[in-house]
Amino acid sequence: MTVAVLLLIATLLPLLSFAILAFVGKRMGNPLAGIVGTFFISASFVCSLAAMIVWLSLDVAEGRAFGFGGQPILKTYDWLPGGLQIGIYVDSLTVVMFSMITLVAALVHVFSLGYMADDRRFPRFYTYLGLFSFSMLALVLSGTLLQLFIFWELVGLCSYLLIGFWYEKKTASNAAIKAFVTNRIGDVGFIIGLGLLFCHLGNATFPGIWGSLGNAGMAQSGQVLILPMVQGSAGAAELSGSLQKAEPQFTRFPHVTTTMLTLMGIALFCGAIGKSAQFPLHVWLPDAMEGPTPVSALIHAATMVAAGVYLVGRIFPILTPDAKLFIAIIGCVTMTIAALIAMAQTDIKRVLAYSTLSQLGLMILAMGIGSWVGGLFHLITHAFFKALLFLGAGNVIHAAHHEQELTEFGGLWRKIPYTAITFGVAVFAIAGVGVTVGDTMIGFAGYFSKDLILHHAGAFAWLATKEGGHTAYWLFFWLPTIVAYLTAFYMTRCWMLTFAGRPRNQKLYDRARETPVMYIPLAVLSVLSVIGGTALGARQMIESAAKETNNYFDPRLRPPAVANPTAKVAQPAHFAGFSTAWQNAGAYAHGDTSTIASDAYRLGERSLKYVSFAFVVGIGLGILVYSKGLTIPNALLRVPPLRWLNIWLYRAMYFDEMYAGVVVACTMALATVAAVVDRYVIDALVNLSARVVRRGAVLARLCDQFVLDRAVSATAEMVQEIGAAARAPQTGRIRTYVTALMVAVALSLAGAIIVVLSTTGR
Amino acid sequence: MELTLAISSSPIIGLNHYLVLAAFIFVCGLLSMMLKRNAIGILMGVELILNAANINLVAFNRFSYAYSPDHKPMLDGQVFAIFVIVLAAAEAAVALAIFLNYYNNFNTIDVERAQTLKG
Amino acid sequence: MNSIASILALSVDAQTVPAVLFYLFAGISAASALGVVLSRNIVRTAVCLLFTLVGVAGLYFLLESEFLAAVQLVVYVGGTLILIVFGVMLTSKSPFSRFEPKAGEVVVAIAACIILFAALVMAIRSADFRPQTLDTTQKYPVVALGQALLGDYLVPFELASVVLLVVMIGAAYLAKSRKRDDKRAVARGAATLSQKARQWS
């Protein structure tokens, strides 16, 4: 519980920083606002670190091996009555993510003190950073999928604000809008997935979802699953006991087909496609490099874009094999095309952006083929060295006065040696430099995580084909292998062009210099890039988290849920091995000692020999080609096929142009159709109704004119005439009145006398 | 015709003689009210009418003493006549003041012009 | 009465003298009243009215109402008529300005008045007033009139005096010529007065 409180404090500190800076940041001015923001995020990091230490000491107290961590903590509160809950879920993954995020964020805060020093909106920058840190931490801490979605959108907003931070630049504001809109496309899928999940489960917590849908992972196509009742925290034992007497309290449809589950998984994964910039929606991330470089390091390399991988990790138990296949394919495609494009880019930040895409694709692929540990472990190590790369690039850009073209650099290691060294460390880390001697692995951080993924990929491919699956499953191994070579090559190219050789722009070279406050974070990150793979217990903690999560789907820990045998349908032959492979590929690592698991492990290990020396080849080739600056590559590019390839890759395979063409053309065509419909159908209807109304109005007018108006006028005239008649005698002349009076009196008197005379008989 | 008949038939002057005279004066007053356009002429017509009434009052008073209960002289008619004279004087004063005002405002004494308040 | 009769006609009897006098005064009154109607000059109208009023005063003498006759002469002839003449004088640009009625009006008015007069005369003739023969011994002493005014008729008498007071004030107010700058004039006067007071002190 102490851990949960510490993590909650760590989450709320950046929010406090945001609130303070939002209100008085502008008054604090240039250095002070940054120092305040840095102080709060550092405090948050201290809290996270304390939480991690407490968490690790828990298992020691409980008599287990170091690195396992405590039991997962789930704390929920009813937000709205009727099952809408919010809460926090803490397991080892959460703790590790917290430490990673707060550390990178703190270092980026420090780095920005130097990098953003001259900016007019310096306090606002720190305000946004505070809000982003809070959102990201809260996302990781979320206990339910709905809550995760809320903070998911909030980090999207921060990303938008920070990409468009220099909104005076047209490209920056366009990039911000592009990122936001592209993310919305993915989020539509996320919302659909959320809706499906709500429909079947209500707003369940993560363990609740896993408990009820966890057997999806081993379900065969076409099966019907019977959902158990979902309650606050459903443990495995409690779940199996309650399976028979399940009451559909939150479950509106107790039966769910695997097709529905597949759809749900793919829909939720759409959110990850948008946020982690996977293949169809990857176009926003390179453009997001228009934002300040520290932002690129924090948001668009280390943390936010990795949230998609985190999401896949959280929904992993409910993914069906079909959905996982889809995820694996998407990851694989992204990884490959991004690595190819990165080879031809000349903007240093774009090289890093495509490198990020490639690595994110690798993580997604790892999740797709079932390497839960590999994917998330690579997330952590990648965060360290990619943040390092971006901050190093930021240092270069800052030193070069905002010049980003690799062709303008060269020989900078003499001017900014610390940056050159740390950048080189990061290149080694991402290239996966390391060797295995016997059972001991020595190397940089990327070596361990990549090794884990590729090992799993080899075992997976072997198992999948062994069961009669399609040979194409081997692509899931061979493509990452090729990409490992490519990665080593293009990262070396980047370093060589920047730091080695002779200066290509003497003026730029002369002015370049380093700022101390900016290479302190680089030093810290480079240390982590070296030891991140072995020390810190990151891998062990992720493995323990995997065990917690896998409780809900590992077939050896639970009896299978009640499957409907009649609904079993024949599977296509090429698919046959996939689910088995998926189940068993990582089994050995999880302690399974059965024959098939150990065979798979050994085969995966054997296949590693194809990739073990990728870094040697890649780095060597890179040094060879770029040893004399741009001379050799320029010579190579005179060969027409290579030149065309280079142009094709340089333009990022024309994705932007294709989208512009297709989307805009489709929109225009749709608009034309709509215009035609509008003009000839809707307008006609409107005109018709207008004409009818007009005719009616004419009739009404005639009626008005000749009946009503006449009546009214006649009344008025009558009244007027009566009035005139009544007015006529009222001359205002006193003599007229007297005369009238007298005439009246005389006439009445005369009349009276005549009557009297006639009655008296005279 | 009637008048001459009345005179010739009874040499003794009776009540009817006074009444006929009063009627004549009354009619003359009325005529001058109806025909005079001068406001003061109308005022004079009013005075004539009041005098006609006074003649009636005094004549009835004179010829009806016999009806008094204790044969004391009855003075009601004369008292009323005095009041009429007093009020006629008052009326003349007020009327003349109004006419003066009217003359100041309209610069004429013609009553035909006094129709500003007519609707 | 007898003395007047003896002066005018010694030979005629006691009943003839009052009759002659009546016709004399009645003739003066009636003729003058007709003159009031017919005269187009306002000054002449006033003169005719004077004779009517004098004739009526004479009739009051014949009716043994000497006090009333005196009041008629004093108040009417001496007061009201003078007032009217003053009115004529004040309101007339020229004393001979005249306003003629329309012919149609004249015809209507005369016709109405003839009918009215005929009707009145017929009514008087047909009415039975049972007139007594004049008791010449009956006198109407002024003392009795005074007693009546301050006795039975005290309240109307006092009311009449109040009416006269009100009329006096009202007439004076109405006839006053209004000037817009009265108050300013007063203020100016006060200012000069205070200036003088300062000089003197």
Percent of chain C with pLDDT over 70: 72
Domain count, chain C: 3
Cross-chain Cβ contact A746/C116 below 8 Å: yes
Do C63 and C118 lie in a common domain? no
Q: How far is A753 from chain B (nearest CA, A)?
A: 16
Give the pLDDT confidence score for residue A199 in this predicted structure.
78
In this predicted structure, what is the pLDDT of residue A612?
A: 74
* Partner A contacted by C115 (CB < 8 A): yes
Query: Does B117 reside within a domain?
Result: no
Q: Which of C15, C138, C167 sits opposite B93 (nearest CB)?
A: C167
Task: Return d(Cα A544, Cα A67) in angstroms, integer.
Answer: 8
**Of residues B7 and A380, more confidently modeled:** A380
Q: Which residue of B has its CA nearest to C145?
A: B75
Nearest CA to CA, how far is C121 from chain A (Å)?
A: 11
Q: Measured between alpha carbons, how far is A616 from A621 in angstroms, rounded to an integer?
A: 8
For residue B74, the 8-state DSSP code is: P
Tell me, yes or no, whether B27 lies in a domain: yes
Confidence (pLDDT) at C184? 58
Residues A560/A562/A566/A567 CA torsion (nearest 10 deg): -80
Residue C194 lies in a domain: no
**Chain B residues in contact with C163 (beta carbon < 8 A):** 86-87, 90
Biggest distance spanned by C-alpha atoms of chain B: 59
Neighbours of chain B (3+ CB pairs under 8 A): A, C
> Which residue in C48, A307, A440, A615 sits closest to B44, CA to CA?
C48
DSSP letter (8 states) at residue B12: S
Determine the pLDDT at residue A441. 73
How high is the pLDDT of residue B9?
43
User: Cβ(A604)–Cβ(A462) under 8 Å?
Assistant: yes
Residue of A733, A736, A741 to mutate, testing the B interface (most B Cβ within 10 Å of its Cβ)? A733
Domain containing residue B82: 2-7+15-111
Say if residue C112 is in the same domain as residue C81: no
- Report, as an integer, the average pLDDT of A543-564: 49
Predicted confidence band of residue A560 (pLDDT cuts 50, 70, 90) = very low
- Do C116 and C39 reside in the same domain of the chain? no
Which residue in the set C105, C113, C122 is minimally distant from A753, CB to CB?
A: C122
More confident residue, C26 or A247: C26
Residues in chain B closer than 8 A to A735 (CB atoms): 33-37, 42, 111-112
Name the DSSP letter for residue A500.
S
What is the pLDDT confidence band of residue A649, given thresholds at 50, 70 and 90? confident
pLDDT digits (tens, 9 = 90+) for A424-448: 999 988 888 887 776 677 778 888 8
Instruction: Name the pLDDT band for A82 (thresholds 50, 70, 90).
Output: low
Specify the number of domains making up chain B: 1
Verify whether the Cβ–Cβ distance C141 to B38 is below 8 Å: no
ipTM: 0.83
Number of CB pairs < 8 Å for A and C? 32
Same domain, C89 and C112: no
Instruction: Specify the range with the lowest mean pLDDT, choosing from A58-67, A498-507, C48-57.
Output: A58-67
Do C85 and C23 share a structural domain? yes
User: What CATH number is associated with residue B62?
Assistant: 1.10.287.3510
Tokens 């990549």, located at residue: A450
Are C110 and C93 in a shared domain?
Answer: no
For chain C, the chains sharing at least 3 beta-carbon pairs closer than 8 angstroms are A, B
* DSSP code string of C51-89: HHHHHHHHHHHHTT-HHHHHHIIIIIIIIIHHHHHHHHH
Tell me how many degrees the CA angle A754-A757-A762 measures, rounded to the nearest 5: 135
The answer to whether A284 and A250 have CB atoms below 8 angstroms apart is no
Dihedral angle sign, alpha carbons of residues A654, A432, A427, A132? positive
Which of B75, B79, B90 shows the shortest C-beta gap to C167? B90
**CA closest to C117 among chain A residues:** A746
Residue A220: per-residue pLDDT: 52
Same domain, C10 and C81: yes
Please check whether residue C115 lies inside any domain of the structure: yes
Residue in C with minimal Cα distance to A753: C119
* Average pLDDT taken over every residue of chain A: 80
The nearest alpha carbon in chain C to A749 belongs to C119
Which of B3, B47, B100 lies closest to C175 in CB terms?
B100
Domain of residue C63, residue span: 1-97
Give me the amino acid identity at C148: A
State the pLDDT at residue B40: 87
Residues 6 or more apart whose CB falls under 8 angstroms from that of A597 comprise: A584, A587, A588
Contact A164, A172 (CB under 8 A): yes
Contacts of A742 in chain C (CB under 8 A): 109, 112-113, 116
Of C22, C99, C156, the CB nearest to B110: C99
| Statement to judge: residues C88 and C4 lie in one domain | yes
A254-263, A271-280, A381-390, A422-431: least confident range: A254-263
Chain B hits for C99, Cβ within 8 Å: 37-38, 110, 112
Stretch A283-310: mean pLDDT: 88
Residues C27 and C71 in one domain: yes
For residue A535, is pLDDT > 60? Answer: yes
For residue C90, tell me if it sits in a domain: yes
Which pLDDT score, from 0 to 100, does residue A324 have? 84
- Choose the weakest-confidence range: A38-42, A145-149, A507-511, A619-623: A507-511
Name every chain C residue with its beta carbon within 8 A of the beta carbon of A747: 112, 115
Residue C155 belongs to some domain of the structure: yes
In angstroms, the CA A456 to CA A328 distance is: 13
Whether C106 contacts chain A with CB within 8 A: no
User: CA torsion, points A42, A48, A49, A52, in degrees to nearest 10?
Assistant: -170
> C80 with C108, same domain?
no
Chain A contact residues (CB < 8 Å to B): 727, 730-735, 738-739, 742
**Does C107 contact A at CB distance below 8 Å?**
no
**pTM of the model as a whole:** 0.61
**Domain shared by C93 and C106, yes or no:** no
Q: Rounded CA gap, A107 and A614, in Å?
A: 31
Is C145 found in the same domain as C117?
no
CATH number of the domain where residue C63 is located: 1.20.120.1200
> Does residue A585 have a pLDDT over 60?
no
A739: nearest CB among B34, B111, B116 = B34
HSE at residue C2, side-chain half, CA atoms within 13 A, is 4
Let me know if C118 is exposed, middle or buried by CB neighbors in 10 A (0-12, 13-18, 19+): middle
